[in-house]
Structure 1
């Protein structure tokens, strides 16, 4: 029954010289919009939403970047302390 309505609508549009409607537009005209319709994806089951993996969340990424920056700063401070100590020893040897 619904299939016949769709075929009739398609032939009617062709006979009238109108532009042929796309399949999705015919479905929408005959069946109306339904929850199974996703704009841009057409009719059919909606894709399941992906659940985010906590390891890929932005807060996890931010924490990783923070930890990396802290470790880099600690290494820089350790290097600066070493250079300062070395300069102090050299200046004492000269003086």
Structure 2
């Protein structure tokens, strides 16, 4: 669905899930309300993912964790250690 919003699909899926939750809780009104909220969030997330894919910036899949300074979190610290932060002294780590 290039160029179209996924909000309707998200809301429809959310209402379906919310209805099931509402029936299970014996409170259909709260379930549907919760489902609409979940559906709106899901639809917006699907739209954003589609926009990223169309732009081709590569951020649509996978997660690249950084620690704030642009380095990946598993690059090690200033001691040159690996993912656990341990240097040549054998200490450090989690």
Q: Name the TM-score, length of structure 2 as normaliser.
A: 0.30
Larger RCO (CA under 8 A, 6+ residues apart): 2
Structure exhibiting the larger radius of gyration computed from Cα positions: 1
Which of the two has greater helix per residue?
1
Q: Name the TM-score, length of structure 1 as normaliser.
A: 0.30
